[in-house]
Amino acid sequence: MFNNKTVLITGGTGSFGKGFSKFLLNNFNLKKLIILSRDECKQFHMEKEINDDRVRFFLGDVRDLERLERAFSGVDIVIHAAALKQVPTLEYNPFEAVKTNILGSQNVINAAIDQKVKKVILISTDKAAQPINLYGSTKLCAEKLFINGNSYSGEEDGTKFSCVRYGNVIGSRGSIIETIIKNSNIDKIHITDEEMTRFWITIEQAFKLVLFTLENMVGGEIVIPKAPSMKLVDLFSALVPNAQKEIIGIRPGEKLHEVLLTSDESRHSIELDNYFLIFPEFENIFNQNKYINSYLKKLPDGFNFTSDTNSKWLTKENLIEIVNNIKL
């Protein structure tokens, strides 16, 4: 799928983009890999670290449609990972989130269609499902824009848009696990609520999710991994067992438990071995009957996939093993 193809990653100097770039370069015979981001310092360090003549670095912002039009010329596949993500910061700077996460996503769609990119994937988040903060709300809007972008891409062989939606990535930049790893001698931690749960996946599982989606997408799907859950209090007990724990209460814009698949979405979803697939309800975007065979498993009425009712849980031993293999 990637051999002799040109791939572009927006936000390519972030945790996902940087890791996925190395994965692609190590496993596929790419024609070219384009990293588009707005931070010249991160691009400088990434270029020194990767040092591969197939890689090109484009300074640019997804808010700038003209720059995207230039960057997308000749590109086969786009992975849209650029986003503003810090919940408290975005609550204080709300329209900045709108400009990057919503308007920037629409710019990606427009540029991809105009430049005849074949496949485009949005990297989304569990916070987009039943959002309660601005970040989640902007990512929900980005998902809707991407799915409906299939209505505007024209012919059968036009640009295809799909999304992947997942929870926390173990060890990603700025995550609580990265903070703990870099401060292993921490003697006090703050816990918002002892019952709080989250979904967790490894960065390698995120790569596999994107690969699965690119290989199987017909346009219009949201693909969700069957990720395990873990209580945050158990996470802290595993990584910093001797630290003093202080309960501080849930912060503004924070959920007690996260949702990856809502009961309303499950009415037009199917279950695979390792993933859930959400399909659009509108047949002008995606005709389910055309693509869904009878052997695929429909979800029961009222089903939802939440971090507290999950049947799959990450143990302390699993977490420690994963963390010990992380290279920051």
**Position 76, amino acid:** D
118 is annotated as an active-site residue? no
Cβ neighbours of residue 249 under 8 Å, at least 6 residues apart? 192, 193
Q: Which of 5, 18, 85, 127 is catalytic?
A: 127
Ranges of beta strands (E only) in the chain are 6-10, 32-37, 55-59, 77-80, 119-125, 160-166, 168-169, 188-191, 197-201, 222-225, 229-231, 244-247, 259-261, 269-271, 275-278, 297-298, 305-306
Side-chain-facing half-sphere of 179: CA atoms under 13 Å: 9
Measured CA to CA, the distance from residue 308 to residue 328 in angstroms comes to 29
Tokens for 202, please give them.
Answer: 């490894």
Cβ neighbours of residue 291 under 8 Å, at least 6 residues apart? 218
DSSP at 250: P
Please identify every residue annotated as catalytic: 127
